[in-house]
Structure formats: structure tokens, C-alpha cells
A = this chain, B = another copy of it.
Amino acid sequence: MVDHLLALDPRGRGITSFFVEGGATRAAKALARAKRVVLTTGFCVGPGLPETDGPPGTAVLGRALRSLGATVTYITDAASLPPLQAALAALDEPKEIQIFPARGEAALSARRFLDEYAPTHMVSIERPGRTRTGDYLSMRGESVAEWNAPLDALFLEAPRRVVTVGVGDGGNEIGMGAVRARLLRAAPRLAKAATVVSATHLVVAGTSNWGAYGIVAELSRLVRRQLLHSAEDERRMVQACVDAGAVDGVTRKPEATVDAMPLAAHASMVELLRLIADMHPHGGKSR
């Protein structure tokens, strides 16, 4: 139902070539009865430069799952902590966040975390996933390994019984390993940065925040309750991320935009997703 909106590609990046129909619907169904959910996000495009895409989507999805009764745990690295805290604060959500170590044995850190929190579900929203060679690349093809902790180890080390959801918009994010073959056949730019890290359910969207909002819209329809934030919340969240040091991931400027799209576009996306979230399953036009 939300696919039409998620598949919007206003920047012409060609997401059609790796879009997954029904991804948000399946992710929502999987998450609707989740007990313990771990959510991660955070993409640094330069030293100490986390981007505005990811934290808002994570905060909105985390809030929705919490309101459905799940125990929600956030984890990111030190560099991406401020915008995630800011997004959660903008929604008046608890902002306790675990920090994944930037150094040391990532697989070991991951297993310790998984043992301690025993998640039934894990969600990644716009978080770098490693390439076949173990590097982490931006869509410009530059290595961002130095600025992003190897948090994808959580998704590689998780027991198979854990249901995982990945949300991305470029091909280099955790979860996108699920469409790796399509990415390799697509543009060379996409093939080079493509990750090997997969997820049970993959949600592709024009911008990753939209993918997370799409899951929440589908959750809303499932439980017949509006779980999405307001357009005004959206504006406040993105601004709060920038105030906390985040930059636009495309322009790399400290401005309240996401992927070079103005706040009005994101507020509008939220508004239309809310309309779908409110939709009565058997509604109809009677004119």
C-alpha cells in the first residue's frame, strides 16, 4: 500500500532497479508482535559528520514499537549518537542508547551485545554495511570505514532465529545484501558500494527515513491506530538532528534537509503516509 510513496525517486537515483515490492508490509507484519527489538542507525559521511537520514526514521519506528508493547533498545556508535538522541528527544522518547565500540573485535562485541539483550528482532535504518572486501563505501565510492563502527557485525553474528529488517536507499546499507545480485547488475556506482550484509526483510525507499515511516504506516493499518508522527514533528526532528551536529548526507552541509530535499518534501511525505495509515481497509469513494 505504501510502496507508491516509498518508491518515489525525486533525485533520479534509479531505485526502481532494486526496489522491493511489499517490503514495508512484510516488515510491519514481522514487527507487529515483536518482544525485544534492537534498532540501529547512523551514517557518517565524514569525520564527525553523521547525516540527517536515519535517526528520525529510527526514532519514529522505535516509538511505534514501544507503544505496541515491545522492549526497544537503540544502539549506534559515538559519532552518530547526538542526532539519534536529538531525534528521540524531539519525540519526547527515552533517549538511552547503547554505544558499539569503534575499535576491538567487532564480532566479539556483537556476540556480547546479542547475549545481553537477546533481541527477537533487529532493525537497521541507513547504517553502513560492509562490501565484499570488508570496506564500507559511500555512494561516492569513498571509504567511510574510519568514521563508522563495524556495527553490521550485529547482523552477521545474530542467531538465525532473530528476525532482521534492513532499510536503505542506496545499496551500501545493512540489509541491502538481500538485493545484491540486482545491485551488481545495476549502475557501476551501485555495484561498487553494494554491501554483503543481508536482512530477513528489506525495505527500499527514496530516502531511508521514508522507508521507516512506511513500516510505521503499515503497522498503523494493522493495529488500526495512527502510529506515525506529525508533519510538524518531522520538521522538529530534522532540525534537532542538525542542531546536534548532523549534516545533509548529499550536500554535506549542516542544514535542515535530508538527501538534498527540503523539509517541506519530508513533511509532505509524512502527511501522505498518515493518510494511508488512517485508511479504512474497506473504504471506498461513493461519488
Contacts and interface: CB of A to CB of B under 8 A. Distances in A.
Interface of A: 4-5, 7-8, 10-13, 43, 45, 51, 138-140, 169-170, 189, 231, 249-250, 259-261, 264-265, 267-269, 271-272, 275-276, 279-287
Q: Can you tell how many copies of this chain the complex includes?
A: 2
A58 to B, nearest CB: 17
B272 A8 contact: yes
A231 to B, nearest CB: 7
B12 A8 contact: no
A-B pairs with the 3 shortest C-beta distances? A268-B268, A268-B271, A249-B287
A229 to B, nearest CB: 14
Nearest to A139: B287
Given A7-B4, A264-B231, A287 B12 contact: no
A271 B264 contact: yes
A250 B139 contact: no
Nearest to A51: B287
18 contacts: A8-B276, A11-B283, A12-B281, A13-B285, A43-B287, A45-B287, A51-B287, A139-B286, A140-B287, A170-B285, A170-B287, A231-B264, A249-B287, A260-B285, A264-B271, A265-B272, A265-B275, A267-B268
